[in-house]
Structure 1
Amino acid sequence: MRSVIERAAEEAQEAGSRTIEAEHLLLAIAAADEDTTRELLAWAGLDHRAVGDALQREFEHSLGTAGVTAADQEVLRPRRGERRPSDAGTSAKLALERGMAAAGDKKDLRPAHILLGILELRAGTVPRALALAGVDRRELRARTQAAISDDGRQGPPEKPGKASR
């Protein structure tokens, strides 16, 4: 888990964020070399790049809603922060709390628990980005819960068919 948090801090720094947010945790999980979460995200058609693309679409969509166009990409490009953030923002705290609750004990916390915590967020950047990407969050959440419950005994989730997304 330490590596996920460290990677989330790097993602936040790259984005110029002063805090680690749920989107940085999701990017870190998508980049992690952990079979369960990699397979769960793959089922939804997500990898690190796809998550980044979905977050960018959400950013542009949010700007459009506010009447700002994404015509000047240089202005919209994130600026790398000078320092790596160490504080969790509201969305990350909530995702981590929910992940911890699913784990039951801090020593049992795995990336799948954090993914579940992220998927349980009802509002914010990540839910909007996943909706724009066409991800069935309810099904992905159910699959994540099942993977956690199985505790890896049955292996990774089944590969999706075209109709399962």
Structure 2
Amino acid sequence: MPSTQTADAARPIVIRSISEATARRDRTVEAEHLLLAVLRDPWLPATRALTAAGPTADWWQDALAEERHQTLRSAGIESVEEPRLQSTPSGKRPAWGASAREALKRGSLYAVDRGHRHRMDDVDMVLGVLDARMGTIARIAARNGLDVTTLADRLRAA
């Protein structure tokens, strides 16, 4: 796990994000895995705030698949079946990708701003994910007309 301090509430999310990456047979844990890990727990305040605004875990899962296909199409690769897009299982735990590390750093800063003294909760973590100016989550939000500022405001009110 990255060297970011996490609260007891955030630790299970980080662990579930590893499971998300493993289930998708991705070699790295990225910001989208953190987001999916939060959204799969209906009891978290961040999940309730986000799903009230519309995007559910299933919506993000579909949007991630479409993003992958769009990226391949832009490289001139058409219609590849999903199983062929997954890496071969290595038996090793996925490494931490840059987008996840950056999201956790930003989440830690949000925790300080919100008075949590470097101890992230689910809301801080998702704020860190949504605050990315580029990358997969930012492209999906832009492509689908999601107002990230409005989502962040809903999270802060959660």
Give your verdict on TM over 0.5.
yes
Q: For residue 92 of structure 2, what is the aligned residue in structure 1? A: 83
Query: Any residues of structure 2 matched to 1:13-162 within 5 Å, and which?
Result: 13-77=22-86, 80-85=89-94, 87-104=95-112, 105-107=117-119, 109-147=120-158
* 1:25–1:73 CA distance, 2 compared to 1 (3 A): closer
Q: TM-score, normalised by structure 2?
A: 0.81
Q: Deviations over 1:106-164 (max 9, x none)?
A: 33x110000000110010011112333432212112222333xxxxxxxxxxxxxxxxx
Letter in 1 for 2:137: V
Q: Deviations over 1:46-76 (max 9, x none)?
A: 2221111111111111111111112444423
Letter in 2 for 1:106: H
Letter in 1 for 2:100: A
Stretch moving more, 12-21 or 93-102:
12-21
Q: Deviations over 1:21-53 (max 9, x none)?
A: 101001101112334112221133122211111
List 4+ stretches of structure 1 deviating above 4 A: 77-81
Letter in 2 for 1:21: E
Q: For residue 5 of structure 2, what is the aligned residue in structure 1? A: none
Task: Return the alpha-carbon distance in structure 1 between the equivalents of residues 47 and 25 of structure 2.
Answer: 26
Identity rate of aligned residues, in percent? 34
Task: Return the alpha-carbon distance in structure 2 between the equivalents of residues 57 and 118 of structure 1.
Answer: 19
Give the aligned length: 145
Letter in 2 for 1:63: L
Letter in 1 for 2:127: L
Query: Runs of 5+ in structure 1 lacking a partner?
Result: 148-165
- 2:63 touches 2:140 (CA, 8 Å); kept in 1? yes
- 2:25 touches 2:86 (CA, 8 Å); kept in 1? no
Q: TM-score, normalised by structure 1?
A: 0.78
Task: Return the alpha-carbon distance in structure 2 between the equivalents of residues 50 and 80 of structure 1.
Answer: 25
Query: Runs of 5+ in structure 2 lacking a partner?
Result: 1-9
Deviation, structure 1 residue 80: 4.8
Task: Return the alpha-carbon distance in structure 2 between the equivalents of residues 62 and 7 of structure 1.
Answer: 26
